[in-house]
Amino acid sequence: MKMGNRIYNVVIIGYGGMGSYHVQLIEPIQQLAVGGVYDIVDYRMELAAAGGYKTYESLDAVLADQAVDIVLIATPNDVHKEIAIQALQAGKHVICEKPVTITSADFLDIVEVAKKENRVFTVHQNRRWDEDFRIIKDMIGKKTVGELFQLESRVQGANGIPGDWRQLKAYGGGMLLDWGVHLLDQLLQITDSQIESVAAKLSYILGTEVDDGFTSFIEFKDGLTAVIEVGTTNYVKLPRWYIKGTEGTAVIRDWDLSGEIVTRNPDVAHVEPKPIQAGQGLTKTMAPPSEESTLKFPIEKIPAAAESFYQNFVSAIEGKAELAIKSEEVHRVLVLIETIFEAAATKSVIRRTI
């Protein structure tokens, strides 16, 4: 601990996969300490105790403990609102796993309580710190491929819907709420433009009551078209990122950051491509551009973010920085998710400013 820095005591509510993972994220932060755990499932409480953590007999016991500074909510989605409001009213700062609530209206209720109680509340939209996203955002900001006009962002696998409660509607399950909330949050960090239309299709191939994937088509007022897709039945995956600009194209194929950037060579006048054999015909239109006319670059890493999610949260508590994950941004993503559900249910294009 740095001299003079206060240590904030964090209690984790919900010690499942994400709750236990948060321990790994918190431990390196000098001003944070995991002070305990509460879960309604006995064996998870036993795991927490075996890990050396204090276990609480109830949520009320957590909230009554004056030594608790921060409550981290990592429960199923349907009880996020109730726990968050109780914790804020008990004087705790609150971090909530995503999706923070199932509806945008419920989220606004939490924000109102946080303001009233003068407590810091935020959502763990951790994938803003993903390296692939940060590379793409940097590339777009620097106009590496010129003016962006098409973006495709996907996560795909073939392992079905994870866990148990994520397959149940009452708990806020389904892949739009599980993974879509990340990809849509990333998308809205890439452009300042407003959305003007949304179309979508949800997948129910696995026969569950919630979506096992989705494809959404989102158009922005600045002309950007985005395809955001999540799949759990994809045995061959499409690229994680594919972006097109007026001066080039870039692709990141997977989490290993494999991919490349191909741009127009500004020092060479356009050279007509040579026709290629394409099936039973010849084509010049679909031939690759001439090597002289283009430049090819590898995907390169960029410097780490100045602050991690948890470092930023501590800075916000101490009044040294604004929250990285702002309430208005979280609300906008939830409104977009609701619009995607509506577009899919009505099989229509929803023309709405978001």
Environment class of residue 308 by beta-carbon count within 10 Å: exposed (0-12), middle (13-18) or buried (19+)? middle
Contact 166, 174 (CB under 8 A): yes
Which residues have CB under 8 Å from 135's CB, separation 6+? 252, 257, 299, 300, 301, 302
Query: Residue 3 has what pLDDT?
Result: 40
Residue 185 contacts residue 155 (beta carbons within 8 Å)? no
What does the DSSP 8-state code read for residue 55? Answer: B
Overall pTM > 0.85 = yes
> Is domain 8-124 annotated with CATH 3.30.70.260?
no
What are 73's two structure tokens? 């909510």
Q: Determine the Cα–Cα distance for residues 339 and 336; give it in Å rounded to an integer.
A: 5
In the chain, what are the domain boundaries? 8-124, 128-258+299-304+335-351
Distance CA 247, CA 55 (A): 57
Phi, psi of 143 (to 5 degrees): 55, 40
Encode the chain (354 residues) as per-residue pLDDT tens digits: 334 489 999 999 999 989 999 999 999 999 999 999 999 999 999 999 999 999 999 999 999 999 999 999 999 999 999 999 999 999 999 999 999 999 999 999 999 999 999 999 999 999 999 999 999 999 999 999 999 999 999 999 999 998 888 988 989 999 999 999 999 999 999 999 999 999 999 999 999 999 999 999 999 999 999 999 999 999 999 999 999 999 999 999 999 999 999 999 988 887 888 888 989 999 988 888 888 889 999 999 999 998 999 999 999 999 999 999 999 999 999 999 999 999 999 999 999 999
Q: In the structure encoding, which two tokens stand for residue 217, read together?
A: 């088509």
CATH number of 128-258+299-304+335-351: 3.30.360.10
- Reference 242, options 255, 226, 231; nearest CA is 226
Residue with the two structure tokens 């276990």: 55
Local structure of 16: helix, strand or coil: coil
Instruction: For residue 218, give the H/E element and its range.
Output: strand 213-220
C-alpha–C-alpha distance, residues 111 and 6, integer Å: 26
Residue 200: name the closest of 179, 222, 227, 181 by CA.
Answer: 227
